[in-house]
Amino acid sequence: MVWSLILSFCVISCGTVDEKETKWKYDVETEDLERYVEEFERLSVGRNEKHVTALVVKFADLEDPVTGLCELYTKQSPVISIDRSYWAGADDAERENLMFHELGHCVLRRGHLETRKDLKPVSIMFPSLIPFHYKGDRVGYVNELFSIEGDWFRLRDEDVTFICGENHGI
């Protein structure tokens, strides 16, 4: 009788994993930013799936032409800073391009990739934003972002800051 009570207690208290525990944990300043983090997480399912134990996403007043920053730390949560004035003038595709680029740094641990094919950047991880190309080939850029072939960068044991700037010439 005592053993069955103990066993029942363990089964009830241990139970199944709470759905919230399997979700990413992040601190996002606004719902406007959060929807892009959630879309990135949704698209990662079944691909090069990384889960964030902690992530901070916030608006900041960055110096022109910087539109976004990803700060990776060895002993604290990664921080994405998005330029407030760029965001205010950007359309949905431009916002997603910027957020997915920064999440590529902070979540997938990818660096910049300057490779081009026929003058077109091959990756959303190009050092400057590529909204014209991104709008024309979103599926291709998202597939490359989560591809194993594209996962070439690994953060070493040091703090790193990635800066993304706007460049309308691409």
pLDDT of 59-95, one tens digit each? 999 998 999 999 988 788 889 999 999 999 999 999 9
**Average pLDDT value for residue range 109-125:** 91
The model's pTM is 0.78
Longest dimension (CA), the chain: 76
- 37-41, 114-118, 135-139, 145-149 — which is least confidently predicted? 145-149
* Domains, the chain: 26-165 (3.40.390)
Cβ atoms of 72 and 79 within 8 Å: the answer is no
